[in-house]
Amino acid sequence: MAAFIVRRLALTLPVVWIVVTLVFSLIHLVPGDPVAQMLGEGAAVTQVEAMRHDLGLDQPLLTQYRTYMAGLLRGNMGQSFRNQEPVTTAIKRRYPATIELALAAALFSVLIAIPFGVVSAIRRGRAADQIIGFVSLLGVSLPNFALGPMMILLFSITFGLLPVSGRGDFSHLVLPSVTMGAALAAITTRMVRGSMLEEIRQDYVRTARAKGLNERIVILRHAFRNGLIPVITILGLQMGALLAGAIITELIFSWPGLGSLTFQAISARDYPLAQGCFLVIALSYILINLVTDILYSLVDPRIRYD
């Protein structure tokens, strides 16, 4: 297992380099001048040129790229143009909020998807299966930017049960986590259902039933465990998507996380901060995929990474 982890980490280095290079290139191609945004249109030419020199923006793009990569190799992501603070500090302050939101959304989706998916599979074609299928389709069809305002209007403004925005106690976490986790819950429910339908048709399930085992033991201990591999795959992929796709939800609920920080950095043409945010998101994807592969061997002992 240790050798597998080392190999995977070694293979991620070219991926990280490609991501950093693409982000650096694309963000410098976006129209707009960060100096003009900070100083305003009425700033004197000498003042603009002086700030461009201080920020290193008057250097050739290739020189700026070499300087940025050299800093990354030393663990330095640079300094934010707008806030004049290290990018690492800004990300450390915001990233825990995004992790908290993503974990809450993933937990909500799992708590909904697993029982619904199992019930839908064992009640295939019946009323319960049809209702769960309809709810799953509804969850996939409603995007975050539509579901979030609807939930605010219903639960915050109409009934006054939950706060509208901000980060605080558990009540502040409910609406954004449900908004983010609804689509994942719907997708995972369909995945659990399909995986369970495939497993309960297998010979080992029929053999377990023929031995007189309790139906609950047959479903949960045998069929469900063997059907977890595709479920773990989709959860691992979607967990990375939750971290990267939290921008809309964080903006709707004014959640002080990495998503809203990324949006602010792009809007302000804050190159170092935007590059740092994208780099952290990419590394999160890689780490989650690695953890997903390790979970495979824990769920199914037949899988080994030698």
- Domains with residue ranges and CATH for the chain: 96-299 (1.10.3720.10)
2-17 pLDDT per residue, tens: 776 777 777 778 888 8
Q: What is the CA radius of gyration of the chain?
A: 24
Q: Mean pLDDT, to the nearest integer, of 102-115?
A: 90
What's the longest Cα–Cα distance across the chain? 87
Spatial contact of 223 and 196, defined as CB atoms under 8 Å apart? yes
Give the residue, 115 or 36, on which the prediction is more confident.
115
Please report the pLDDT score of residue 97 as a whole number.
92
What's the mean pLDDT when you consider all of the chain? 84
Q: How does residue 297 score in pLDDT terms, banded at 50, 70 and 90? A: low
First to last CA, the chain: 7
The residue with tokens 């809450």 is 104
Q: How does residue 227 score in pLDDT terms, banded at 50, 70 and 90? A: confident
Q: Residues near 79 by Cβ (< 8 Å), separated by ≥ 6?
A: 85, 86, 87, 272
Please report the pLDDT score of residue 175 as a whole number.
93
**CA separation for the pair 59, 2 (Å, rounded):** 43
Of the listed ranges 21-30, 152-161, 183-192, 220-229, the least confidently predicted one is: 220-229
On whether the pTM is more than 0.85, the answer is no
**CA separation for the pair 263, 270 (Å, rounded):** 10
Spatial contact of 91 and 284, defined as CB atoms under 8 Å apart? no
Angle CA 137–153–166, to nearest 5:
100
Of the listed ranges 105-109, 148-152, 192-196, 297-301, the least confidently predicted one is: 297-301
The residue with tokens 């509804």 is 138
**CA separation for the pair 44, 69 (Å, rounded):** 32
In the numeric block, which tokens belong to residue 284? 């999160």
Q: Mean pLDDT, to the nearest integer, of 186-201?
A: 86
Q: Mean pLDDT, to the nearest integer, of 24-30?
A: 83
The pLDDT of residue 245 is above 70: no
Please report the pLDDT score of residue 116 as a whole number.
92
Q: Mapped to the 3 state alphabet, what secondary structure does the chain carry?
A: CHHHHHHHHHHHHHHHHHHHHHHHHHHHHCCCCHHHHHHCCCCCHHHHHHHHHHHCCCCCHHHHHHHHHHHHHCCCCCECCCCCCEHHHHHHHHHHHHHHHHHHHHHHHHHHHHHHHHHHHHCCCCHHHHHHHHHHHHHHHCCHHHHHHHHHHHHHHHCCCCCCCCCCCHHHHHHHHHHHHHHHHHHHHHHHHHHHHHHCCCHHHHHHHHCCCCHHHHHHHHHHHHCHHHHHHHHHHHHHHHHHCCHHHHHHCCCCCHHHHHHHHHHCCCHHHHHHHHHHHHHHHHHHHHHHHHHHHHHCCCCCCC
Q: Mean pLDDT, to the nearest integer, of 208-231?
A: 76
Q: Mean pLDDT, to the nearest integer, of 85-92?
A: 92
Please report the pLDDT score of residue 282 as a whole number.
84
The pLDDT of residue 42 is above 80: no
